[in-house]
Amino acid sequence: MSNSTLAPDRPRSRFLALLLPFLLEAALVVSWSAGFLGIRFASDHAPIFLILLWRSLISGLLLLPFALTMGPRLRWSDVPPQILFGALAMAGYLSGFALAIGRGVPTGLVALIADMLPLMVALLSWPLLGQRLTPLQWLGSLIGFVGVLIASAGALKLGDVPLWAYGLPILGTLSFALATLLQKRSPAGALPVHQSLCLQCLAAAAILALPAWFEGGVAPVMKLGFVGGILWLVIVATFGSWSLYYLALRRFSPARVTAVLYLSPPVTMIWAWIMFGEPLSWAMAIGLAVSLGGIVLFSWAPETAHVESKAKAG
């Protein structure tokens, strides 16, 4: 009797096991893409570093009471690794793109370089984590990148800027890739998401205060567009996308989590079409379909090979 009772639950549990990762990754893509809209709202009213400063500061302060009262007690030894992760993943990553755009690197090219994150994570996973992609995963990742190229081809233009400025978004993307892999490997990455996110946001705010001050000051701009943009960035981009990113990072390999972000540029274009009436094109639709195909192929491929475990087994 017990076997017949439990049997119908097995297909349901298998279905949920397949559905929940998909829902997590879909929510990550939607919220990650929506974060760019907050920047657009606020950038009409304030410099970019001031926006990044107040986004990080308010996020960290709102999370601080929960970080101190919920979860394991924070120790001083937990702080330095989280400062490093915040410096790399938030301050370094975002500053690289902000400085590049400020120096005249075209926004389309900056976005395209940002979408090389999955490839950088895949390349660095072997030396840092002992993981390497299978041929099928490499194929899915490359197909996803081709989809990004197709979708953003219309926005890709080379500008007349110093050659070194093109290295800024590359350094920013590399900074985020390193933060992702180091957090996956470090015991400090096991902190509850709200605690690690709080410490990282406060660390990023302290770092971003200096360029914001040089850019014109650290005082907030008391305009509705700035306030609305910051609230959007705090609630949707920080509490939404970064929390989902870290949750997914604990469940899946870094290569898989970042590969999902190939869908971010086309979804961002859809957001811009809905909210700002920006035109869509067939290239965007085709690029979205190609990237989605690459992500599906990557997700269905066998798990990454663990070089170290294979060596031990041999």
| pLDDT tens-digit series, residues 58-115 | 999 999 999 999 888 888 888 888 899 899 988 888 888 777 877 777 665 666 677 7
Are residues 67 and 199 in contact, defined by beta-carbon separation less than 8 angstroms?
yes
The model's confidence at residue 312, banded by pLDDT at 50, 70 and 90, is very low
Q: Please list the helix, strand and coil fractions of the chain in percent, rounded to the nearest 5, in that order.
A: 80, 0, 15
Token pair 């990455």 is found at: 189
Provide the residue count of the chain. 314
Segment 294-298 shows an average pLDDT of 74
pLDDT of residue 112: 66
| pLDDT tens-digit series, residues 193-213 | 889 999 999 999 999 999 899
For the cut 80, the answer to whether the pLDDT of residue 127 exceeds it is no
Q: How far apart are CA 222 and CA 232, in angstroms?
A: 15
- Average pLDDT of the chain? 77
Return the closest-CA partner of residue 290 out of 156, 108, 146: 146
Are residues 18 and 199 in contact, defined by beta-carbon separation less than 8 angstroms?
no
| pLDDT tens-digit series, residues 231-253 | 988 998 888 888 888 888 888 87
pLDDT of residue 27: 86
For the cut 70, the answer to whether the pLDDT of residue 144 exceeds it is yes
Return the closest-CA partner of residue 288 out of 172, 41, 122, 115: 115
What is each CA distance from 29 to 16, 19, 199, 250, 258, in whole angstroms? 20, 15, 24, 17, 10
For the cut 70, the answer to whether the pLDDT of residue 291 exceeds it is yes
Percent share of the chain, pLDDT over 90: 13
CA angle 100–104–107, rounded 5-degree value:
70
The model's confidence at residue 1, banded by pLDDT at 50, 70 and 90, is very low
Residue 176 bridge partners (DSSP) = none
What is each CA distance from 36 to 46, 208, 249, 266, in whole angstroms? 15, 18, 21, 12
The verdict on pTM exceeding 0.85 is no
Residue 305 bridge partners (DSSP) = 132
